[in-house]
């Protein structure tokens, strides 16, 4: 792969090395330069192709890892987006507060119903005691 990192000296590609840098190149020199640059380009392409083919497994593994990373990041992005939507649409604090308020209301109602039930039991016991005493005293509304 050194061929990719070395610079190209254009003077090496021309037939005469004693060129004046300030004078323009002739048409034949330009054609020669273009032809040699194309040959050099083909040489570089051949080296790159050889390198890629000889490291096919490494590149395949690298691209598979990249694909997995992209898939994972898209999945993560989707999940974070859903979480942010959930948090912004229905703030969790408000939902928790509503649930706690509902629990408080239900607890108060249950306590009030227990107290009423205790009161009803006491009234029933008093009523039964009064009936028992009325029956024992002979008081009765016989008609």
Q: pLDDT tens for the chain, 143 residues: list them.
A: 455 566 777 667 776 666 677 778 788 888 988 998 999 899 999 999 999 999 999 999 999 999 999 999 999 999 999 988 877 776 677 788 899 999 999 999 999 999 999 999 999 999 998 888 887 776 655 54
- Model pTM score: 0.41
* Residue 94 within any structural domain of the chain: yes
Give the tokens for residue 111. 């306590």
Domain housing 4? 1-16+26-52
* Residue 74 within any structural domain of the chain: no
* Residue 37 within any structural domain of the chain: yes
d(C-alpha 143, C-alpha 140), whole Å? 9
48 and 94 inside one domain: no
* Residue 116 within any structural domain of the chain: yes
Give the count of domains, the chain. 2
At CA 93, angle to CA 89 and CA 96, rounded to 5? 110
């Amino acid at each position: 792969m050194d061929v990719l990192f070395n610079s190209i000296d254009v003077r090496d590609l021309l037939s005469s090395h004693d060129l004046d840098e300030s004078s323009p190149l002739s048409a034949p020199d330009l054609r020669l330069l273009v032809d040699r640059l194309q040959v050099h380009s083909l040489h570089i392409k051949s080296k790159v192709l050889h390198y890629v083919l000889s490291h096919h497994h490494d590149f395949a593994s690298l691209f598979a890892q990249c694909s997995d990373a992209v898939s994972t990041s898209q999945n993560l992005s989707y999940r974070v987006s859903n979480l942010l939507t959930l948090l912004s649409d229905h703030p969790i604090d408000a939902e928790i507060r509503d649930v706690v308020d509902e629990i408080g209301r239900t607890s108060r109602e249950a306590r009030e119903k227990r107290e009423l039930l205790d009161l009803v039991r006491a009234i029933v016991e008093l009523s039964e005691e009064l009936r028992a005493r009325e029956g024992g005293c002979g008081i009765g509304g016989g008609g």
